[in-house]
Amino acid sequence: MPKSDLILLALSDIHVLPLFERALAAASYKAAIAREKVALDKILQETSPALVIVEENFDGTSGLEVAEELLERFPTMPVVLFLGQENAPALRKAMRVGISDCLCAPLRIEEIGKAVERSIQRADRVGDWTRREIRRTTASLEQRVKDLQKFETILNSIEDGVMILDERQCILLVNPAVRRTFGLWQEEDLVGRPVLDVISHPDLRTLLNSDRKTVAPHHEINFDDGRCLSAQCTPIPGIGFAITMQDISYLRQIDRLKSEFINTVSHDLRSPLTAILGYVDLLERVGPLNDAQREFVQRVQVSVESITNLVNDLLELGRIEAGVDSQKEMIRLDTLVQLTAETFEAQIQEKRQKLTLDIPSEKPLELRGNPIRLRQMLDNLLGNAIKYTPEGGEITIELEEQAGQIILRVSDTGPGIPPSDQPHIFDKFYRASNVPKGVGGSGLGLAIVKSIVDNHHGRIWVESVMGKGSTFVVVLPIYRNGK
């Protein structure tokens, strides 16, 4: 069967060259001859040989080195090495380099033809496998490109902001929602830039610089125009962080309208409640009451007082949310904690509870805040701990300063809060489903606490295990030099 494959002979030895030419002609191969490296490079540029035969010493250079260079340039082209005599170390090195075959003197014509035939067939099989792998890899890459295009379309269509950062807080990816939110349309190339150089929003800086162990799952990013985003920072092992941001401005607006309605109703209720209590107190003055009537009057008084307390809590919550009495000053939170503990000492002794204060003594824990509101926050947290901790239980208040923040933890050994209730525990009027019978409350105490914490640009969350108790964690930033 005639062949048209071109065999390139890189041979300087004029004595063996005729032998190779006759062997190739007998096997119906065409031959091209290069007696020096310059000629070899020229032929390789102008033609595509099916195989190259290189002698052991070619143009003053090691044939192995020439073969290695050829294989680096043409990885799939077979190269045969011709040795003047059998040399075991040279053969081993040739195999490591990737030589297809080796020919050793003395040679016979049929040996040359068979070696060339074997090498070309082997190269054809490798080429077929390579082409199949290329097709398979190409198909796989095409599918991945399609998947990436789908992912990009989905990411660009999401209304929520998505931003991926590396471990150095440099931008890897941002979607159009982030660009819209922070006005980044003029910034074309954001990838690789530090996110805080691109987005200098203080709330985002606080989120990124917060300790992952103490930061709340969700963090609010507020804008001067009234917009509010709920941001979440999730670690991605080996990559960095994913930040997702959802616009909750409409929820804040709904909450504001609801609060205004509640405040209006609460304010309007105070006058009739005061009148009811006044007239109830006058009943005995207009005539004697029997025992049954006196009991009914007492029940009315208790009920009215309960409603009055609820109304007062609602109005107090409204004042806090509206920013009334928002004037702040430098105060010592450790001193407020000690005063609060002294206030509740009688209740703690009555229930035979143990209160432990873990407050650092090295330096005062100062922050800029409203002393009345912070005292109210501490009263509610410690009051709740006493209320829900059974007799003989333990309560712990811990304070520490960390990374420009004061961290307050109020722990109890109460019944704990069910996991399904924990996301709603700071909502207005919400009470956990496992509140013991006889334990009163309006469901506004923790809502007031959260509003006070928010007013101080802090964060609060609960960590609770059923049957073991709860820990309320408050993180308050420290503002110094009037900031």
Which residues of 152-282 form beta strands (DSSP E)? 161-166, 171-174, 219-222, 228-236, 240-247
For residue 419, whether the previous peptide bond is cis, meaning omega lies within 30 degrees of 0, is no
Q: In the prediction, which pLDDT does 483 show?
A: 44
Q: Could you tell me the two tokens for 149?
A: 């295009």
Residue ranges in the chain modelled with pLDDT below 70 = 1-4, 187, 211-218, 259, 262-263, 266, 315, 317-326, 437-442, 479-483
Residue ranges, CATH 3.40.50.2300, the chain: 6-131
Q: In the prediction, which pLDDT does 428 show?
A: 78
Cα separations in angstroms, 482 against 204, 259, 456:
22, 31, 14
Q: Could you tell me the two tokens for 307?
A: 């409603």
Cα separations in angstroms, 332 against 5, 339, 375:
92, 11, 11
pLDDT tens digits, 222-240: 888 888 888 888 888 989 9
pLDDT tens digits, 83-140: 888 778 888 888 888 888 888 888 888 888 888 888 888 888 877 777 777 778 888 8
The angle subtended at Cα 254 by Cα 253 and Cα 256, nearest 5°, is 65
Regarding the domain delimited by 329-477, which CATH topology (the fold level of the hierarchy) does it fall under? Heat Shock Protein 90 (3.30.565)
CATH architecture group of domain 251-322: Orthogonal Bundle (1.10)
Instruction: Tell me whether strands 405-412 and 394-402 are parallel, antiparallel or unpaired.
Output: antiparallel
Task: Quote the CA–CA distance of 470 and 435 in Å, as a whole number.
Answer: 13
Q: In the prediction, which pLDDT does 212 show?
A: 55
Task: Quote the CA–CA distance of 330 and 438 in Å, as a whole number.
Answer: 40
Phi-psi sector, 323: left (phi>0), alpha (psi -120 to 50), beta: left
Q: Does domain 6-131 have CATH number 3.40.50.2300?
A: yes
Cα separations in angstroms, 23 against 31, 52, 56, 376:
10, 14, 19, 103
Residue ranges, CATH 3.30.565.10, the chain: 329-477
Residue ranges, CATH 1.10.287.130, the chain: 251-322
Residue ranges, CATH 3.30.450.20, the chain: 158-247
Backbone φ, ψ for residue 366 (5° rounding): -105, 145
Cα separations in angstroms, 394 against 96, 138, 384, 398, 413:
74, 66, 13, 13, 6
Q: Does domain 158-247 have CATH number 3.40.50.2000?
A: no
Cα separations in angstroms, 464 against 62, 180, 347, 467:
76, 39, 23, 9
Cα separations in angstroms, 247 against 159, 205, 215, 218, 460:
9, 18, 20, 12, 21
Task: Quote the CA–CA distance of 28 and 32 in Å, as a whole number.
Answer: 13
Q: In the prediction, which pLDDT does 136 show?
A: 83
Q: What is the CA radius of gyration of the chain?
A: 42
pLDDT tens digits, 16-30: 888 888 888 888 888
